[in-house]
Amino acid sequence: MIEALSYDFVQHAILAGILVSFAAGIIGSLIVVNRMVFLAGGIAHTSYGGIGLAVFFGLPIFLGASLFAVGAALLIAALTLKSRHRIDTFIGLIWAVGMAIGVIFVDLTPGYNVDLMSYLFGSILAVNTEDLYFMGSLLAVILFVITFGYRNILAVSYDSEYAALRGVNVRFYYTLILILSALTVVVAIKVVGLILVIAMLTIPVYIAEKLSNSLFSMMLLSGAIATLFTLVGLWFSYTYNLTSGASIILVSAASLGLFLLFFGKRKQ
Amino acid sequence: MSVIQIRDLTFAYDKDIVLENISLDVEERDFLAIIGPNGGGKSTLLKLILGVNKVQKGSISVFGEPPHKGLSRIGYVPQNTNINTDFPIKVIEVVLMGHVGEKKPLFGYGKDEIACAMGALSQVGMQAFAQSKIGSLSGGQRQRVMIARALCAHPQILILDEPTSSIDIKGQKEIYELLRVLNKSITIIVVSHDISVILEYANKAAHVNRQLSFHDISDKKQTFHTHGEQEHFCEIELLQMLGAEHCESCPSTPSTGSGTEDPAGLETETKDTIANATVPEPAEGREEK
């Protein structure tokens, strides 16, 4: 195990795991407290359309996926802010159409045999330096937004009606949270894949919520818990030659089970 | 001096008229109770005063200015304070939210803001809970915190939407006692279903059901109290007392079948049924004789 740490790809994987875990912990907290889990799931799957387009046009995958995911986030924000009627139907639709677009464009790409599985279930062991820059920049942007927008984000998340009354631009912050979610989903695809991303955004957050008494501490704790799960999952993956994304999610789910068992008992 | 002045206000969602030709004056340090049936337009009226809904016809002025400008002098306590009880947030942070939208430090909270929030908490008797998680409080305690949040911005009018709808009886009484104390320096407007409690504390009442009938009840309370041994009245009884003198379309004596808008229609109908049962004759015929 120790000699494994000397490999570049293992170092990259660990660094990526930490960066993405903190991004997912912070943004996942916002997603959960704003009840946007389903929206985030929609954005995650839609972003596959961006991956397909990027493959077809020969663009960097991250770029294609990011643009597409942000587009989906803007569309979903507009839909939810405008009318809430049957919004879940539309999100389901966007979800499926995005994936369909991705599959079709990969089909249309001549001579390209893309490894679909690596996007669906993650490929953290194939993270390169460029990916790390992208992940690092995103985390920096998230930290910046949280630092300077914390009070307004807190007010919008806790009681949007009151925040609007006090002159806070609720639409702006709501859209901002969705855009950051989209970008976080894209980087998390590299780690756990777009099918499993929703678990990474919610399981650590669920545990952290029970242990925190402020949104800020919940974000940090979620990040730390997600990091722990990712690294332990990575170890399992490396040692037993298992798919990394699935290992991380199962470690998370098992930990959640243990947590509920002990925390639930303690509460009674 | 009137702090809120409403003149000939008519408001419709699309083509559904919700409020029609409403006029109302709220004086300084009034304790106004807004009552009325669900869907009668109470919440719409509040939203108009708060500037959330735009005035279509007629006028509203808050301290002589249009609603959105007077907003900084209004404290608002929304209806559902039991939403988001899982949210990880401390009581003091909820109260500090009262400063949101003002000029503030880039991050963190200013010392003066924290002092102000603690002051508001002690006004409602909740300073000991400043560091508690909001979800650990009872409904009544949470409602006090929401009042503190509204007080944080030093309002001259405090507007509460159904403040006791989800609180036990003891908690309700405490909330109203608190409002009575606050009323010494602040104008209070309360929307409530809970008529009997409201009439204990309010000095004015406005019954809103598309139209508005206004009552100065500060001297009338005596009448209510001598009316019966109990202090609680049923809603119909009260609406009769409040509605009878005002509303000409609602005659207090049973007449033709058109009395459907009578808030006390229940009684009218019962009498009709009994009359019809014994004298099998159409009601109109009965009247002509």
A162-204 pLDDT tens trace: 888 888 899 999 999 999 999 999 999 988 888 889 999 999 9
Q: Is the pLDDT of residue B286 over 90?
A: no
Taking CB atoms within 8 Å and a gap of at least 24, the contacts of B12-21 are B12/B56, B13/B44, B17/B210, B18/B44, B18/B210, B19/B44, B19/B45, B19/B48, B19/B208, B19/B210, B19/B211, B19/B212, B20/B210, B20/B211, B21/B58, B21/B211
What is the average pLDDT value for chain B, to the nearest integer?
A: 76
Give residue B263's pLDDT. 44
A44-59 pLDDT tens trace: 999 999 999 998 998 9
Query: pLDDT tier at B200 (50, 70, 90 boundaries)?
Result: confident
Measured CA to CA, the distance from residue B224 to residue B217 in angstroms comes to 10
Q: Is the pLDDT of residue B254 over 50?
A: no
Cβ-contact A69, A46 below 8 angstroms: yes
Q: How near does any CA of chain A get to the CA of B188, in Å?
A: 18
Q: Do B106 and A148 touch (CB under 8 A)?
A: yes
A107-147 pLDDT tens trace: 888 876 667 778 888 888 889 899 999 999 999 999 999 99
Residues of chain B contacting residue A144, judged by C-beta atoms under 8 Å apart: none
Instruction: Looking at mean pLDDT, say which of A78-82, A251-255, B265-269 comes out highest.
Output: A251-255
Q: Do B89 and A162 touch (CB under 8 A)?
A: no
Q: Which two tokens stand for residue B89?
A: 């947030």
Residue A148 or residue B276, greater confidence:
A148
The angle that helices A37-57 and A197-211 make with each other, rounded to 10 degrees, is 150
Section A89-115 average pLDDT:
86
Q: Do B50 and A209 touch (CB under 8 A)?
A: no
Q: Does B100 touch chain A (CB under 8 A)?
A: yes
Q: Do A155 and B97 touch (CB under 8 A)?
A: yes
User: What stretch(es) of chain B map to CATH 3.40.50.300?
Assistant: 2-247
Q: DSSP string covering B272-284, please?
A: HHHHHHHS-S-HH
B59-115 pLDDT tens trace: 999 998 888 887 888 999 988 766 778 899 999 999 998 887 776 656 678 888 888
Give residue A258's pLDDT. 95
Share of chain B above pLDDT 90, in %: 27
Residues of chain A contacting residue B109, judged by C-beta atoms under 8 Å apart: 151
Ordered by where they begin, the domains of chain A are 3-261 (1.10.3470.10)
B25-56 pLDDT tens trace: 999 899 999 988 888 888 889 989 988 888 88
- Scan residues 8-37 of B and list those with Cβ closer than 8 Å to A: none
Kindly state which CATH superfamily the domain B2-247 is placed in: P-loop containing nucleotide triphosphate hydrolases (3.40.50.300)
Section A84-103 average pLDDT:
88
Q: Do B107 and A150 touch (CB under 8 A)?
A: yes
Q: What is the ipTM of this complex?
A: 0.83
Which member of B83, B88, B100 has the closest CB to residue A152? Answer: B100
